[in-house]
Amino acid sequence: MKTIYIDGLGLVEGHFSGVGQYILGILRGIDEILEEAKYAGKPMPEVRVIVPYNTVPRFREFAFKNIGCKPFPLSFRLMAALWHRGKLPPIDLWCGRGTYIFPRFVDMPLAFSKSAALVIFDLSYELYRQYSDEGNAVFLSKSVKRSVKNANKVIAISKNAKKEIVDFYKLDPANVLVATPATDPRLFYRRSQKEIDDVKKRYGIDGDYILSLSNLEPRKNLAALVDAYCRLPKKLTKDTALLLVGVSGWKTEELFNKIVKRVEEGHNIIRPSHYVSDADKPAIISGAKMLVYPSLSKPWHAVYRS
C-alpha cells in the first residue's frame, strides 16, 4: 500500500491560524480512523506529514498515534521561502513515491508522484482582493490556478466555497469535495467558572465581554464591529467590553488607530495582555456573552449564549 504524504507547513508554523486548525483536525480524524483499522486488523496506509527538520519537536507535541513525520532537510524559513517563490525542488525526490495531499491552497513540486488532493479554503484573494495582502493575493492568484490543474481532487470547506471554486476555475463539480470544519467536543465544551476566571486573570480580562476571535485584518470587518459596538448604549458597554482576540495580520494600521481613538473616547474595547494559547481558547469562548464573526466574505452572524 502506498504512503500518503501531507504537507505540514501550516501545522508547524509559529502563527497557528484557522488553516493550521483545519489541518490539525483532519490529521486527528485520520489518526482515529487508522487506530480503529489497526484494532480491527485491517490494512492501513502509512501516513507521513512533511515538516522542516527544525520543526520536528513541534510536530511531536501533537502526539499522533499512527501518523509520523517526514523531516525535510531544510529549515522552516528556507522551505517556506522557496515554496512561496516557486523554487522548491520536487519533494518526492526526497520523500519517495506516494500520494500527496496539499492542505494550504498551493501544492509543492512533484517529479513522479501524483497530487491527490488540494484544499482551497476560500477565494478571497480573487473575490475580495481589496481586503487581502497584495503580495499574498498575487502569489495565490497565480499559484492556485496552476495547482488546481495538477490535483485529482479539490477540497472545499463549504458548499458556497465549492460553488465559487467550480465557477471560477471551471472545474467539474464531481471533482470538488466538501469537508467542512468542525469543533471537537472533547476540547470545546462549556468550561467551569473557575477555569474561566483563571484564564481571564491570566490574560488581564475583567468583567463580561463580547468576543471576536479572528486574525486582525481588513477582511474580518473588525472596524465595522468596533463602530457597531460603540453605538450600543453606554449602560450596556460600561459593564460588557468588546474583547478582540487574534494576531495582527495585514493592513491593520487603520483598525488600530480606530481602536485607540475609541478607547480614548471612553469605550470599553480590550485585547488580551498576550497571545492566547489554543488550550485557553475554550475557556475564553465559554466566558463570552456573545461571539461575533462579521467577516466580509461570509454573512454577518453572532452566536448568543444564555
Q: Quick one: how far is CA 271 from the chain centroid?
A: 20
Structural domains for the chain: 3-178 (3.40.50), 193-304 (3.40.50.2000)
Q: Which long-range CB contacts under 8 A does 178-187 form with residues at least 24 apart?
A: 179/26, 179/119, 179/155, 181/18, 181/21, 181/22, 181/25, 181/157, 182/25, 184/25, 184/28, 187/282
pTM strictly above 0.85: no
Answer whether residue 299 shows pLDDT above 90: no
Task: Taking the CA atoms of 217, 223, 228 and 233 in sequence, report the sign of the dihedral they define.
Answer: positive
Confidence at 302, pLDDT banded by 50, 70, 90: very low
* pLDDT score at 305: 42
pLDDT at 297: 58
Higher pLDDT, 36 or 249: 36
Return the closest-CA partner of residue 10 out of 141, 101, 92. Answer: 101
The predicted model gives 235-247 an average pLDDT of: 89
- Pick from 245, 233, 300: nearest CA to 269: 245
Q: How confident is the model at residue 250 (pLDDT cuts 50, 70, 90)?
A: low
Take residue 18 and report the three cell numbers written for it.
Answer: 484557522
Mean per-residue pLDDT, 67-85: 96
* Average pLDDT value over all residues in the chain: 89
Q: At residue 115, does pLDDT exceed 90?
A: no
Alpha carbon 198 to chain centroid, angstroms: 26
